[in-house]
Chains A and B, each alone.
Chain A
């Protein structure tokens, strides 16, 4: 519970309509995109300027009230759940696109801008922001930066951190600082910008960002490549790359997902395939034609059963719609899903997939793979039901085994794009050197001595 005086102070800062304390509203801000992490805040505030954010932080810091920044609430690691209560600072009304600079290929945005709104605006100028988290309909720029989000296009374009030139941040004590700048090159002291990117809201509130953009490619082409063996599909990924084609996307859907998609919306995916790889190439029209043919040739040479080049954009859209539906298909089929986010170096994909299959057998649980194969971020998902205790226990063990093998045996990482938040906390210590955790703690203590910024997350 917050003191009356704090509430009325908050109301003074952002206006009465922008402070919510009704129990119903608090419930509606107790969750994010995860299934099971739920905790209510004591108040929800909607700032619309940097100054308001700064005044709220000063107040919270003086009163030692936890503050959890929140964008679209689409993260899947518990990042925007106010684990210790306090204030949820929602950025959805702080959402203007301030400038699109065609000459410098940059844009300046407020944190609450939703990625799809930005994409639509940039398209008018023939530009785009390359990172493409598949939650673009709900995810905000503040959340995307704080989770260092990335999507299928990561294969060719990389992830969010490669496209943030500078940010404005309000620190826990209300100070407003600027990191990075508006230039492509910048070597002025320590690169502090990048500890805020993927900071998951634990270091400060991002109130503005300078984005690096690309011109929209003129043409695209999609391929659906069919495999009898999911591990061979895994090999297809690096064979294509080592043979000189860099597609913008390489996604994998396995047999289980293919069949669920076909149940939901039949689009003619091969139901007997063990896995499919979806490729997209983009660029000049002549080049994409050539690249598509080359991918077909290489994948067939390395064991693909069939490579379909989508004849037109309509068919291509169908494949990508199916890929996006995959996520819902998985979640719709089980009471609880542990959607893992482990990422392995590309060359280890086939071996890792074999391992996942073994783990599924050992613990007798369903594990499906639908992921960003192009960057080794495979999203193995373990399906279970908490009501079935025995099954649930086995599922938990399977998750442990997956993480262990990915991170240790195959030289990968615990999270490729979803962040640690609450969900992956218990694994964080297992896979991170104590000295590194201590360094994180030290940084946190320096920037936020009262530990009010999104407390209870990552390493805590």
Chain B
């Protein structure tokens, strides 16, 4: 009998499914493909077949479990509360165990992304050649393949100076305020390499509101793309590095402006543990993690009148996109809306299906870019229906994909992080 350790871990979740098929209505992938193999029910059935020893991890099987955005739309609407995200990640982990990571992912995950310095160097190398690429709009250029398979897409330019080369280790609260709290800032890859100003902006907002911010140098990639692809081993390595980076800093919370990072850091305990010790460590770590929107509203309790709209957004109409990792992974949906509604001079309009996945799904979009574009089209329809000038969200991952698709569809909207709007 084969060792099905990773699958055994998720067997209880896969047993939840009663095959009602309701998930088909919510699954963005099924809605495009209309095939049973794309939907949670089908994936779960096949994974159970592996558990029963009747199915191998064939290339087709790999493709089926790969074609999931982990958007949790199915799980959020499942009458039996089947956590298909855990089932799929478990199956990917089992497959990685048996077959190893594909050559591409192997290089990208283990050699580049898991090593912050190498990631930076690789990113910087591309930055050097950026001027050779055709400019599509403003800062937007076609980058050469980032991870092989990323293909040609509108990708925001890498920043000249990365965030971690600009930050200080400690920021005191501004205007001589007494520190209310001490918070560790977690930047995440996208903010580090693509949106460093945003990182500085968030730090500035926090320190203005009496928070002392520390930014440990040895923080790493959160590990989302890595462990969601089934590489739990590298995932655990990153988790441990990150936990270590904040361990002795004596911080009350760890705050990040990236929805995917905050959910990933919180969920180490769900997806990664291999033993009790890890479970305990990751559960402990989770307690400190806060998404920036959640932190500002629920912990700092910044009152509405203290949110001031930046001049350049005066009179604009904004709509909000719920990142999967905020609304379904962390149940954060009211906090960002509270901030948007507090901004005087900005008109806020809800888009239809605000909670629909943008189609990015981390490395999903690397392997299934065509599907990503189709799924994003539905998002674009929602955006168009609002007549908004700007699309606001709080996950740099979504920002990158929204930007790509807004441009692909020749739409006028600009894409912004929520905290970019705030003075």
Contacts and interface: CB of A to CB of B under 8 A. Distances in A.
Chains A and B belong together in one complex: yes
Interface of A: 20, 22-25, 27-29, 31-35, 46, 72-74, 90, 92-93, 95, 112, 114, 116, 135, 137-138, 264, 324-325, 327-328, 331-332
B79 A29 contact: no
A137 B80 CA distance: 15
B25 A328 contact: no
A20 B35 contact: yes
A126 B35 CA distance: 31
Given A24-B60, A32-B19, A116-B25, A328 B80 contact: yes
A33 B35 contact: no
B16 interface: yes
Given A31-B45, A74-B20, A328-B81, 12 more contacts: A25-B36, A27-B46, A28-B36, A29-B36, A74-B21, A112-B34, A114-B25, A137-B22, A138-B20, A328-B18, A328-B78, A331-B80
Contacts of A33: 18-21
A35 B55 CA distance: 19
Contact of A332 (B16, B24, B55): B16
B37 interface: yes
Nearest to B34: A92
Nearest to A115: B25
Contacts of B20: 33, 74, 135, 138, 327-328
Nearest to A32: B19
B51 interface: no
B346 to A, nearest CB: 29
A46 B22 contact: no
A332 B80 CA distance: 7
The number of chain B residues touching the other chain, given as a range, is 20 to 34
28 contacts: A20-B35, A23-B60, A24-B37, A24-B60, A25-B36, A25-B37, A27-B45, A28-B37, A28-B42, A29-B36, A31-B19, A33-B21, A34-B19, A35-B19, A46-B34, A72-B24, A74-B20, A90-B34, A90-B35, A95-B34, A116-B25, A135-B21, A137-B25, A327-B20, A327-B79, A328-B18, A328-B81, A331-B80
B175 interface: no
Contacts of B36: 25, 28-29, 73, 90
A33 B20 CA distance: 5
Interface in B30-51: 34-37, 42, 45-46, 49
B24 A24 contact: no
B64 interface: yes
A93 B22 CA distance: 17
A23 B56 CA distance: 11
A332 B34 contact: no
Contacts of B45: 27-28, 31
B12 to A, nearest CB: 12
Interface centre among B22, B24, B60 (most CB of A within 10 A): B22
B251 interface: no
Interface of B: 16, 18-22, 24-26, 34-37, 42, 45-46, 49, 55, 58, 60-61, 64, 77-81
B55 A331 contact: no
B37 A324 contact: no
Nearest to B21: A138
Contacts, number: 86
A239 to B, nearest CB: 32
A138 B25 contact: yes
A50 to B, nearest CB: 18
Nearest to B49: A27
Contact of A73 (B18, B21, B79): B21
Contacts of A27: 45-46, 49, 55
Nearest to A75: B21
Contacts of B60: 22-25
A24 B42 CA distance: 10
Nearest to A139: B21
A20 B46 CA distance: 16
Contacts of B22: 74, 135, 137-138
B18 to A, nearest CB: 4
Contacts of B49: 27
Given A327-B79, A328-B79, A24 B46 contact: yes
Contacts of A74: 20-22
Contacts of A328: 18, 20, 78-81
A5 to B, nearest CB: 24
A332 B18 contact: yes
Contact of A93 (B16, B19, B34, B55): B34
A24 B55 contact: yes
Q: Which 3 A-B pairs have the closest CB atoms?
A: A328-B79, A138-B21, A137-B25
Contacts of B37: 24-25, 28
Given A327-B79, A328-B79, A24 B35 contact: no
Contacts of A327: 20, 79
Contacts of B18: 33, 35, 328, 331-332
B38 to A, nearest CB: 9
Contacts of A73: 21, 36
Contacts of A46: 34-35
Nearest to B79: A328
A339 to B, nearest CB: 10
Nearest to B42: A28
A159 to B, nearest CB: 20
A116 B16 CA distance: 24
B392 to A, nearest CB: 26
